[in-house]
Amino acid sequence: MSILKNISSPKDIKKLSYSDLDNLADELRNKILDTVSNNGGHLASNLGIVETTIGIHRVFDAPTDQIVFDVGHQSYAHKLLTGRQNEFNTLRQWKGISGFTNREESIYDPFGAGHCGTSISAALGLASANHLDGNENYVIAIVGDGAFTNGMIYEALNNCTKNHLKLIIILNDNEMSISTNVGGLSRYLTKIRISQKYFNLKYKTQSFFEKIPLVGGGLVSGTRKIKNHVKNVIVIENFFEHLGIDYLGPVDGTDIKKIETVLNEAKNKNECCLVHVQTIKGKGYQPAEDNPENYHSVGAFDLEKGVDDKKKDRNFSSVFGEILCQEAEENQSICAITAAMTGGTGLNGFRAKYPERFYDVGIAEEHAVTFCAGLSVNQKTPVCAIYSTFIQRVYDQLIHDVAIQKLPMVMALDRCGLVPGDGITHQGIYDCTYLTSIPGIEIFSPETYDEMSQAFQYGFKSKSLVVIRYPKGSELRYDRSHYISCGELSYCDFSPDNYDAVIITYGRITKNVHDAIELIKDKVHVRLVKLVKVYPLDFEKIFSVIECAKMVYILEEGIKSGGIGEKLACEFAQDDRMQSKKVVIRAIENPLMEQGDLTSLYACYGFLPEQIAAEIYDVYQTGTNLN
């Protein structure tokens, strides 16, 4: 008989026996495995934190007690225990539930997160507000050890020393972030894990004394008086306690009873406390335990066969890795830098071939960029590979540490444009709007692998900050033989007659525009102009290929406000030669989209070929101006 089916809220697990809880943990893992193998998602971290999640919901009273997950991609068991199991099969699907915590989805998600390092700051704010209101409820921040490579965590810890805050920080230590953890903190946690023998002794001693009738409680109280001395002898000096934060652990995060014991002890403290739990990433599914990095984030896969990493299709990320390895063979100054995304950014090959020139800095994007600036000063050629969604964090470093100092650097911007599955927090649609404000920057957005290679060759030789942005996935195939190249742009005509409408676009969405024109080419004489370099724009060259048009339609897989389309339209509006031309922009105006597959996201914003074709034809026929 299923236990999980009878769980509608966390209250339902408080009355279960430990035997039933173990069975519930197995059911949760099976549900997570079945769903992620069908839908894709974050797997290894969620399998590892099941028992810890059960323990948290047994000890605390959510949603009155507020639980904040760092990143939120380890919250699947939490979702299943908080009334969302009937919708769990829609995980990461269009109109389904998010793969991260989401305030709009449930009252059990007090704070949403898709980026790393935010949890303790948010939880501290929640706990401080509770304290101001005289509220005795607890706030629990669940933070993976990988997040402790992010500087924001330490900024928050530095402010957690105020007395009487009901704030408990749970350090989920699985020895992994996305790629294997790196740096001094990883080595420190390795040392501190040795002290688990002390915590096991303490747990067994306390359990033994508590079972003694009448005097057991007094014996427990008495042993606490010598605890600190014993702890100082057995355990290395503790970093967190030096910050003024009580530390408990490490404790086995796969043992529900031990988790409950340490969390109840943390509750009894009248100040901020950190509980160090050790979990096993991928627990319960052997392929994920053996290779957790491959199972951090996965697409749909066969549970029996597992993820076959060797059969991955060639894609923009892997091609980037190939380009970099080839260049590094000839150019000894090339260095590759990433922020805990070695595999995701295609740098596994570079790491293996040139380990001395490879730097994984952990989840520390700001440090990564300024580190690159230092490399650049001393005549190295830094190539920093980061996802578009995370480049939002380094705007200051790009301006202050790179652009103002006129230092050459290449940014390989992965996952640009709309990104399927991960939802609103991971969209790569903002970068063009704010990066174009950086002095001296050059931005390329190739549609093909060849264009990508040419852009990187330019970047390697450039004396400025060069950004090369590309989408998740593979190059889209269609006949490009009729394109005429004009350097940083190319164009093609779909009619032997002279064109009277022009569509300007760039990047992956070009194929959809091409397919749209095929649908209406007998009705409208269209020229397609594809930009490769999207900033700064050569307006004279662009004007030379659109001068005969009566209508200019600009389509951009990015934010409309401040985007490339608006920059073009603004320039056109100031040019007397463009006054008789109608200019229409199709771009993303309301970026608060749900998660879903790429086709659903495209349909939401009018980016499907049939939608594009219908709009172009309507504007052309009726003279409707959407601006």
Catalytic amino acids?
A: 281, 365, 393
113: left (phi over 0), alpha (psi -120 to 50) or beta: beta
Residues in the chain: 627
| Pairwise CA distance, residues 555 & 587, whole Å | 6
Instruction: Select from 317, 270, 610 the least CA-distant residue to 473.
Output: 317
| Pairwise CA distance, residues 8 & 57, whole Å | 13
| Pairwise CA distance, residues 276 & 174, whole Å | 11
Q: Are 104 and 592 in contact (CB under 8 A)?
A: no
Tokens of 198: 């002390």
Tokens of 348: 């596994």
> What's at 321, amino acid-wise?
G
| Pairwise CA distance, residues 579 & 590, whole Å | 29
Q: Mutual orientation of helices 256-268 and 196-210 as an angle, nearest 10°?
A: 80
Instruction: Select from 284, 275, 278 the least CA-distant residue to 59.
Output: 275
In angstroms, the Cα distances linking 22 to 25, 207, 257, 443, 499 are 5, 20, 10, 53, 69
Burial of residue 128 (number of CB atoms within 10 Å: 0-12, 13-18, 19+): middle
| Pairwise CA distance, residues 412 & 319, whole Å | 12
Tokens of 308: 């076959």
| Pairwise CA distance, residues 582 & 107, whole Å | 48
Chain centroid to CA 291: 20
| Pairwise CA distance, residues 114 & 111, whole Å | 10
| Pairwise CA distance, residues 483 & 514, whole Å | 11
Q: Are 335 and 375 in contact (CB under 8 A)?
A: yes
Burial of residue 220 (number of CB atoms within 10 Å: 0-12, 13-18, 19+): middle
DSSP 132-183: HTT----EEEEEEGGGGGSHHHHHHHTT---TT--EEEEEEE-SBSSSBP-S
CB count, 10 Å around CB of 520? Answer: 18
